[in-house]
Structure 1
Amino acid sequence: MFRILLILLLSMTLIGCSNNNDENNPQASSATHPPVVEEAIALVSEERDVNKVQAIANEENLVIAFKVNSLKNFQLKKIKKSIKEKVEKNFPDYDVTVSTDLKIMLELNKLQEEQDTLSEDEFKQALQKIIDLEKEET
């Protein structure tokens, strides 16, 4: 009986202490112009401090929002600057907007969900609204 209790306690401890945080596998979502967006997400996901990446693009603009590990919030400006430079270098034909703001990430997610119901002009206007929102908050 004691052995069964010990094995049960040990297994519960190991399960409870397991790390379910997928920091090595950042969540990513994309829409519109999949090759460009997928490449941008892959590029940003290479940063080991990035947890979650969202991106969306049209013909001229590429908007990327990402979330960093909690401990790296003090280095947020540095990380954002290096990612922006890296993305601009790899996508010179696009006007790149990079954000770490949760509001921008939520707006990108909302736009991705509504993308199928929007016309091209409405999509362009909504994307421009997100870009303006990012510039306004900085």
Structure 2
Amino acid sequence: MRTRRKLKFLMFKMIVALCLLAAGCQGEKMEQESRMALIKTTNPPPQVIGSKQKDKDVAEKVKKDVMSYKEIYDVAVVKGKEDILVVYRVKHLQRFRMKKIEKDINKLLEKKYPDENFTVSSDYKIFLEAVQLKEKMKDPDYSEKDAEDRLKRIISLKKELT
């Protein structure tokens, strides 16, 4: 009789766990690349709002400069009309030095590109938002104005966190 009761209780636990798992998977649909950003290095190409070749070149150079740090393994760069968002992920053992790394990157970018306005972050949520913006910009129906508004929202989110 006891084993039957234990078996029923175990079955009940399994059903509850499956229901919770299924309910948890019903959240916001994430795009494929942003979903993979949770697990592995995505290293997205620099994204430019607009189509100026000069802006694309600057975004490429910024990404190359930031990737030159050995402590960093993933960088996303989004260039808007006025701002450049630089978001990166730090290797696990370097997490204790994140403030210093961010300060060094800021100093390097301000020195190399004095005319640009940078927002630099190592926050993972900001990284995911930048990758999702890149995914949305692939859609031809997504306007430059919407992309610029989203970029400004991401930058304001970064400023709220600091």
Class of the TM-score when normalised by the shorter of the 2 chains? 0.7 to 0.9
State the distance in 1 between where 2:63 and 2:126 align: 16
3-state SS in 2 of match to 1:129: helix
How many pairs are equivalent? 114
Is the contact made by 1:28 and 1:41 (CA closer than 8 Å) also made in structure 2?
Answer: no
State how 1:11-90 maps to structure 2 within 5 Å: 27-32=43-48, 33-90=55-112
| Change in CA separation of 1:28 and 1:113 when aligned onto 2, cut-off 3 Å | closer
Please say if 1:119 is aligned against 2:135.
Answer: no
Q: Which has the larger radius of gyration?
A: 2
Identity of aligned residues (%): 32
In structure 2, what is the equivalent of residue 131 of structure 1? 155
State the distance in 2 between where 1:97 and 1:76 align: 15
State the distance in 1 between where 2:121 and 2:92 align: 16
Is the contact made by 2:44 and 2:131 (CA closer than 8 Å) also made in structure 1?
Answer: no
Residues 85-110 of structure 1: CA distance to partner in whole angstroms, max 9, x if unpaired? 11122222221000001101100001
Query: Structure 1: where are the runs of 5+ without partners?
Result: 1-24
TM-score by length of 2: 0.66
Give, in angstroms, the shift of residue 29 of structure 1. 2.4
Give, in angstroms, the shift of residue 26 of structure 1. 8.9
